Amino acid sequence: MTYVATAIGYPYIGENREWKKSLEKFWKQEITEDDFVKQQKEIRLSRIEKQLQLGLNVVSVGDFTNYDRVLDTAAMFGLVPQRFNWQGGKVDLSTYYAMARGTKDAVACEMTKWFNTNYHYIVPEYEGQTLRVTENTLVKHFVEAKAAFDIIAKPTFIGPYTFIQLTKGYDRVSKASFVLALLPLYAQVIKELVAVGAEWVQLEEPALVTSLDKEEIQLVQEIYAQLATAVPEAKIMLQTYFESLFAYEQLIQLPVQGIGLDFVHGYQDNMNALRQHGFPADKVLAAGVINGRDIWRANLAEVNATVKAIEQLSDAKELWIQPSCHLQHAPITTKFETKLDDILRDALAFADEKVVEIAEVVAYLEGKESTAISESMKAIEALKNHPIRNNKTVQQAVQTIEQVDFERNTPFTERLTIQQKALQLPLFPTTTIGSFPQSDEVKQKRNAWRKGNLTPAEYNAFLEQETARWVAIQEELDIDVLVHGEFERTDMVEYFGEKLTGFAFTENAWVVSYGSRCVKPPIIYGDVALETPMTVKETVYAQSLTKRHVKGMLTGPVTILNWSFVRDDIERKDVTYQIALALRKEIEALEEAGISIIQVDEPALREGLPLRKEHWSAYLEWAVGAFKLATASVQDETQIHTHMCYCEFNDFIEPISALDADVISIETSRSHGELISSLQHNPYDKGIGLGVYDIHSPRVPSEKEMLTIMEDSLQVLARNQFWVNPDCGLKTRKEPETVAALANMVAAAKTLRQQIEQSV
């Protein structure tokens, strides 16, 4: 058996976020386009050099991007919406970034979750355009790598079926013409890669792990039959990840030369499929045996046993050892993590360490001696016995939860009347999601405080000053329900993790959330508990400055879970319930301090869903339960809000309603037409705050633009349900654009109130 050490893809942000810094300098016009292109090339090549040094036999090209890889594919095929006034030819950077971020005159393309991860991709839009290959960047990067390192790299890009499924704009009739226009372009790109010497071309098809009906399976078969006919000389590695391959018996026979399977998240089903159906002897099997989505050191004894079992169950002519998915979901290296608990640090493996683990597995399979197996087992056992994982009080609290702990005292319809009387809010109350712009001064003061150059008293005085300033701005804008601005928070999960037991924080473990936005997820490595209140002081201070209601702002238990790197020694449900019980105490403390509206954000509730709907119910039972466990103990007068962003509302309305939150705020600015259509077919009976403008773009939408969204929404929402807000927090925006956009938002809400009053 021949073994190959490879990776589906490797992070592109750089060890010190060089990619992000270069990109943002270019956007600010601090560097020229030529300098930007040069810097991006240097980062791209440095990644390849490192992977080779760490022991990979085959590295990928095409796993690098200037913003988003789905957007790259759309641009490569000329899938540019008409509103961007593209004139054809190569898609220049200004058009590319206009699609991603919008312009003064054109709304950005929609952004949504990449399968069940915390990464957001740009949604391609098909408008019946004439498609063409605008530029084969894969050829460019393949030749570039060959010239620099004398290697034959593996070009990779989003596969045709997945790209079709991710694209919006076609219906049942136009889908056929879209597919027919797209396939020759895939064939052209592959043919050009073969012509310059590519031995393998990897097509990433994560959509093949979702539930497929008979028609979709036939489409996949037709797509790959046509590619095999069009480019018979190509060796295609069809790469799946995030779950097990659906319809294994049929799809394993596709006319490709290799198939990649996830033996981490799809372990059980893929192993069962191998036992029942084997694996074609004429294909290469790429086995994803190292978890590409977490940060934990692999138990190499178990991994090697898995590989041996795979080898015995399959007739594959060659075995590639790789991560379970693209490594962009893992931080880059543990080498900068000098402040972590030693036991914890020894049990970690980021992208670089995972690449080393892949090389070590291959070395073991080839009969080379190594201490790696025993070292991995020793590190895992030490963490298992750590006191932080053995808090008996927390564990007992989870075990004694009762059904009554999940339920509010009174049904929503009765609570609504009580809350309207208590809160005295106008029709279409305006609010924001929670955070306000974090200026350079805010960041500088925080850094100075963390480094000891600013005393806690001085830092708190500055935070109070900034809070007071923004409370005054909100009052001047005439926003109805205010927030304190969250100037003390770096991240909506990290902030809470720093105040709870069981969490650890890294110095440089960054991953991309969307575009250039990087986050540093905390690590949940022990039992979680609340020791002192986390948000009461800041919220009560803001409330003391105004007679208007100030919302308490918390991140929900499921989002804290899904946006953290989570311990893997106990069930995720139990970890979430630990967090929920801690938040329950915090919510009770806010209520006792006089805060009448408390928002518990759950933007990541949906992303934790299994990729197949038949597996949803088990997850939703405990995920929805965790939110209710955190929020159910409040009085009827206390209004519970939640927030979700980029959520497919139409197929998720029942779980959202089951949360029993009094008000949910959601994104509608980029996809308001779809939401209206969804609400027509799936009525929602609780309060709902419509995100009437897109905060991910620097453009300031007009009052008329937002009023149109509001007017359309009244077709499907009752007046007393309807709140008005931006689609997400405003932390990343600049102050002038934020104030201008909020002024237009409030004006639109007031205009709508006047229209209603005049119509009565």
What is the C-alpha separation between 15 and 129, in angstroms, rounded?
39
Helix (H) or strand (E) holding 747: helix 735-759
β strands within 556-662, DSSP E = 565-566, 597-601, 639-643
What is the C-alpha separation between 190 and 198, in angstroms, rounded?
9
Residue 17 annotated as binding site: yes
What is the C-alpha separation between 358 and 372, in angstroms, rounded?
11
* 106, 697 Cβ separation under 8 angstroms: no
Rg, the chain, Cα only: 26
* 655, 607 Cβ separation under 8 angstroms: no
What is the C-alpha separation between 504 and 524, in angstroms, rounded?
7
Burial 718-746 (b: 16+ CB within 10 A, else e): eeebbbbbbbbbbbbbeeebbbebbbbbb
Residue 728 annotated as binding site: yes
DSSP H helical ranges for 478-535: 494-497
Tell me whether strands 639-643 and 201-204 are parallel, antiparallel or unpaired. Answer: unpaired
DSSP H helical ranges for 481-566: 494-497, 536-544, 557-562
Q: DSSP 3-state assignment of 5? A: strand
Distance from chain centroid for Cα 739: 27
β strands within 235-293, DSSP E = 236-239, 258-262, 284-290
Residue 602 annotated as binding site: no
Let me know the angle formed at the C-alpha of 13 by 7 and 15, rounded to the nearest 5 degrees.
90
Residue 109 annotated as binding site: no
Residue 572 annotated as binding site: no
What is the C-alpha separation between 54 and 354, in angstroms, rounded?
10
Distance from chain centroid for Cα 303: 27
Residue 113 annotated as binding site: yes
Residue 586 annotated as binding site: no
Burial 76-102 (b: 16+ CB within 10 A, else e): bbbbbbebbebeeeebeeebbbbbbbb
Residue 19 annotated as binding site: yes
Residue 433 annotated as binding site: yes
What are the distances in angstroms from CA 311 to CA 259, 356, 376, 661? Answer: 14, 21, 23, 50
* 398, 574 Cβ separation under 8 angstroms: yes
What is the C-alpha separation between 333 and 353, in angstroms, rounded?
7
Q: What residues are annotated to the active site?
A: 696
What is the C-alpha separation between 278 and 281, in angstroms, rounded?
9
- Sequence-ordered list of residues with C-beta below 8 angstroms from that of 363, at least 6 positions apart, any chain: 370
Residue 601 annotated as binding site: yes
Residue 607 annotated as binding site: yes
The angle, 0 to 180 degrees and rounded to 10, between the axes of the packed helices 735-759 and 703-713 is: 50
Burial 253-291 (b: 16+ CB within 10 A, else e): ebebbbbbbbbbbbbebbbebbeeeebbeebbbbbbbbb
Residue 434 annotated as binding site: yes
Residue 200 annotated as binding site: no
Residue 567 annotated as binding site: no
Residue 548 annotated as binding site: no
Residues in the chain: 760
Residue 520 annotated as binding site: no
Residue 744 annotated as binding site: no
Q: DSSP 3-state assignment of 358? A: helix
Residue 544 annotated as binding site: no
What are the distances in angstroms from CA 530 to CA 78, 498, 574, 614? Answer: 52, 11, 16, 35
Residue 345 annotated as binding site: no
Helix (H) or strand (E) holding 504: strand 503-504
Residues in the annotated binding site for L-methionine: 433-435, 486, 601
Residue ranges for the known binding site for 5-methyltetrahydropteroyltri-L-glutamate are 17-20, 113, 118, 517-518, 563, 607
**Which residues contribute to the annotated binding site?**
17-20, 113, 118, 433-435, 486, 517-518, 563, 601, 607, 643, 645, 667, 728
Bind-site residues for Zn(2+):
643, 645, 667, 728
Q: Which residues are annotated as a binding site for L-homocysteine?
A: 433-435, 486, 601
